[in-house]
């Protein structure tokens, strides 16, 4: 049973934009913070951004701050990642996940997340 489904990835030139979406079942989406992570070949999965249930609190990795924006629509059980000014080093598989600890001080750790999507590939050409 699929719980989180990402979409919106693709191939884009450096400087371009993409918007990722993550549709979730209400059962696992409701009342939880959500996050985006990415994993490049041969590298560990790394934190990108997260957003509280209300949407009032957001966190970003330094590498994407000012370029990426996380948002959510709780009426659609969907979280988004708007990615602007993309760079080749942003190339990775992007995953959304549920923060079951709801933004405690380890919001950047993969261990704070319990449900994960299957990932969507983002490739940025130079």
> 23 pLDDT exceeds 70?
yes
| pLDDT at res. 103 | 80
Dihedral sign from CA coordinates of 32, 33, 36, 37: negative
Q: Which residue has the higher pLDDT, 42 or 103?
A: 42
Q: Tell me the mean pLDDT in the region 13-39.
A: 95
* Cβ count within 10 A of residue 123: 15
| pLDDT at res. 1 | 66
3-state secondary structure the chain: CCCEEEECCEEEECCCCEEEEEEECHHHHCCCEEEEEEECCCCCCEEEEEECCCCCCEEECCCCCCCEEEEEECCCCEEEEEECCCCHHHCEEEEEEEECCCCCCCCCCHHHEEEECCCEEEEEEC
Confidence of residue 13 (pLDDT cuts 50, 70, 90): very high
Q: Tell me the mean pLDDT in the region 10-35.
A: 95
Tens-place pLDDT, residues 77-105: 999 999 999 999 999 999 999 999 988 88
Percentage above 70 pLDDT, the chain: 98
> 110 pLDDT exceeds 90?
yes
Alpha-carbon span 51 to 3, nearest angstrom? 18
State the average pLDDT for the chain.
95
Find where tokens 């190339």 sit: 91
Q: Tell me the mean pLDDT in the region 53-74.
A: 97
């Amino acid at each position: 049973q699929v719980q989180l489904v990402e979409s919106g990835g693709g191939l884009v030139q450096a400087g371009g934009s993409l918007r990722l979406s993550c549709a979730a079942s209400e059962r696992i989406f409701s009342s939880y913070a959500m996050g985006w992570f990415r994993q490049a070949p041969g590298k560990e999965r790394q934190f990108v951004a997260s957003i509280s249930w209300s949407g009032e609190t957001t966190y970003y990795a330094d590498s994407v701050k000012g370029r990426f924006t996380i948002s959510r629509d709780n009426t659609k059980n969907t979280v988004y990642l708007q990615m602007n000014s993309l760079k080749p080093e942003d190339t990775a598989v992007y995953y959304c996940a549920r923060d079951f600890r709801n933004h405690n001080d380890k919001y950047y750790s993969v261990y704070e997340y319990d449900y994960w999507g299957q990932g969507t590939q983002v490739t940025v050409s130079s």
